[in-house]
Amino acid sequence: MEYWEVLDGEGKPTGEIMKKYDKEVFDRGFYHLGLDVWIINSNNKILIQKRSPLKKLEPNVWAMTGGSVIVGENSLKTIVREAKEELDIDIDINKLKLITKFRTGNVWIDTYVLKCDYDISKMRFCKEEVQDAKWATWEEIDELVKKGQFIKHRWEFVNKFIKEEID
């Protein structure tokens, strides 16, 4: 069982710990910390992954790499863990750039960019998390969002920051 630190409406820790997806905590108006990392290669394409059909929330849609910060981690440690877990890639935290932090639903999201090339053919997907990955242009992701085929409540908060990183 994962445990998350409870955050208030300003994204500050309350000192309380919650079990993963504890509806009672969210019903009281509290949040937890999550993170997204948008990986951009030397061709200015963005690594996206198709979520597993086994995922509880938003299965079978495309998304960036991300996850929830568990107790004892910070967002940088979580990026490293999630990338290794989901795609079997190693992240160099010294190359990460925080581009924004926003609140959506019951989560505060620390959002990072990483400029790096990865060979998708060498990735091993965690079947409970990911079914596919590909490099996509900004425009291709924008189209997936418009068609409802990309994870909700992310792109609208970050697309202008991502555009600045690839221009």
CA distances in angstroms from 56 to 6, 28, 61, listed in the order given: 21, 22, 12
Q: Which helix (H) or strand (E) holds 162?
A: helix 155-166
3-state secondary structure of 93: helix
pTM of the prediction? 0.94
Q: Is 90 exceeded by the pLDDT of residue 50?
A: yes
Distance CA 42, CA 78 (A): 24
3-state secondary structure of 85: helix
100 neighbors 35 (Cβ within 8 angstroms): no
Under the banding of pLDDT at 50, 70 and 90, the label for residue 18 is: very high
**Nearest alpha carbon to residue 103 among 31, 20, 4:** 31
Arithmetic mean of pLDDT, 60-84: 96
Strand 13-19, strand 3-7: pairing: antiparallel
What domains can you pick out in the chain, each with its CATH number?
32-166 (3.90.79.10)
Arithmetic mean of pLDDT, 113-135: 97
62 neighbors 51 (Cβ within 8 angstroms): yes
CA distances in angstroms from 4 to 31, 66, 77, 129, listed in the order given: 9, 15, 14, 19
- Return the axis-axis angle of helices 138-146 and 155-166, rounded to nearest 10°: 160
Q: Is 80 exceeded by the pLDDT of residue 83?
A: yes
103 neighbors 31 (Cβ within 8 angstroms): yes
pLDDT tens digit sequence for 133-159: 999 999 999 999 999 999 999 999 999
Backbone angles phi, psi at 67, to 5 degrees: 170, -170
Q: In percent, how much of the chain has pLDDT > 90?
A: 95
Helices then strands (H, E): number in the chain?
Answer: 4, 9
Q: Is 90 exceeded by the pLDDT of residue 167?
A: no
